């Protein structure tokens, strides 16, 4: 009996040691490199490595004094151009009022002419005056067109400056953990200069590699079991979903162990896993399809 018991234990031990998962890999996260959209001195910067930042959080402030001074200069230019427009509009309103009175006078003279109480000369004079007023109004409208264009140009420049001022406030695009910090407070920011790298840790991706004979059994959207180390002897099982399957084969990466020999070609597969707080970037994982 003693030998039978020992043999049974050895058999179970061998069976467990021969158990392998279908694929192996490491966890990744979607990484975002946040860059500056403006130039200027960085007045404040709070993106510390390892810190969790909420979406929309104020991360950095770039100096806006040069832009603000230019904005004041354009505001003054807008006031000057606006005053020109107001003068032109005032002249036009005076002429339009004169034209309105002249049209009323024409209607009165037309009635008198029918009754024989007015002459055709009076009608011709009024008609001539109306034509003169219409031409004066057209002339002022032509003169006002470039002034209005100048006003729109100044207002457009003010809007552009205001947009640049707003872009000097660097806000975090999505909730995540700061992986790397590329600049410091007091340094000069330039458009396109990376400030920090962020990773969303709420959803992780296990990148594994499968052989060609495993590929027919894997579909996008398929639910799979993902295992991670819980202790030295036990694994924790999480639910995952296949989100991407590579369309090109490649040689097995050195860091990956599979059931197949290393020289065989494999296909990369990404599996989405909701992070319960235990998953980290680079952590190894296993999957059963």
Among 181, 226, 170, CA closest to 203: 226
* 35-39, 75-79, 257-261: least confident range: 257-261
Find out whether 242 and 22 touch, Cβ atoms under 8 Å. no
- 21-62+178-288 and 65-166 agree in CATH topology: no
Chain segment 163-213, per-residue pLDDT in tens? 999 999 999 999 999 999 999 999 999 999 999 999 999 999 999 999 888
pLDDT value of position 263: 55
Q: Is the pLDDT of residue 7 over 80?
A: no
Overall pTM surpassing 0.75 (yes/no): no
pLDDT value of position 16: 41
CATH code of the domain made up of 21-62+178-288: 2.40.30.170
**What residue segments make up the domains of the chain, in order of their start?**
21-62+178-288, 65-166
Chain segment 82-95, per-residue pLDDT in tens? 888 887 888 888 88
Find out whether 69 and 93 touch, Cβ atoms under 8 Å. no
Find out whether 88 and 140 touch, Cβ atoms under 8 Å. yes
**DSSP assignment letter at 252:** P
CA–CA dist 38, 50 (Å, integer): 25
CA–CA dist 198, 178 (Å, integer): 5
pLDDT value of position 167: 95
CA–CA dist 32, 196 (Å, integer): 8
Round the average pLDDT of the chain to a whole number and report it. 86
Q: Is the pLDDT of residue 158 over 50?
A: yes
* 25-39, 53-67, 135-149: least confident range: 135-149
Locus of tokens 């399809």:
289
CA–CA dist 193, 187 (Å, integer): 11
**Could you give the dihedral angle defined by the CA atoms of residues 47, 51, 54 and 55, in that order, rounded to the nearest 10 degrees?**
50
Q: Domain 65-166 has what CATH class?
A: mainly alpha
Neighbours of 108 (CB within 10 A): 12
């Amino acid at each position: 009996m003693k030998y039978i018991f020992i043999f049974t234990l050895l058999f179970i031990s061998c069976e467990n040691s021969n158990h392998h998962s279908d694929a192996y890999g490491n966890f990744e996260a979607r990484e975002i490199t946040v860059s500056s959209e403006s130039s200027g001195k960085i007045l404040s910067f709070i993106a510390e490595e390892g810190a969790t930042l909420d979406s929309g959080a104020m991360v950095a402030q770039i100096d806006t004094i040069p832009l603000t001074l230019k904005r004041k200069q354009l505001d003054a230019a807008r006031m000057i151009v606006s005053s020109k427009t107001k003068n032109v509009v005032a002249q036009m309103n005076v002429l339009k009022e004169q034209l309105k009175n002249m049209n009323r006078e024409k209607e009165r003279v037309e009635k008198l002419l029918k009754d024989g109480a007015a002459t055709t000369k009076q009608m011709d004079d009024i008609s001539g005056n109306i034509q003169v007023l219409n031409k004066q109004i057209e002339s002022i409208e032509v003169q006002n067109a470039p002034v209005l264009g100048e006003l729109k140009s100044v207002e457009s420049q003010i809007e552009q400056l205001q947009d640049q001022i707003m872009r000097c406030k660097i806000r975090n695009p999505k909730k995540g953990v700061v992986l790397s910090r590329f600049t410091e407070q007091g340094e000069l920011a330039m458009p396109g200069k990376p400030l920090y790298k962020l990773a969303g840790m709420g959803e992780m991706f296990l990148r594994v590699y499968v052989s060609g004979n495993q590929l027919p059994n894997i579909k996008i959207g398929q639910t799979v079991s993902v295992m991670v180390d819980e202790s030295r002897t036990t694994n924790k099982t999480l639910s995952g979903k296949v989100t991407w399957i590579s369309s090109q084969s490649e040689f097995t990466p050195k860091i990956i162990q599979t059931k197949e020999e290393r020289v065989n070609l494999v296909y990369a597969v990404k599996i989405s896993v909701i992070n319960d707080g235990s998953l980290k970037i680079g952590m190894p994982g296993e999957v059963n399809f």
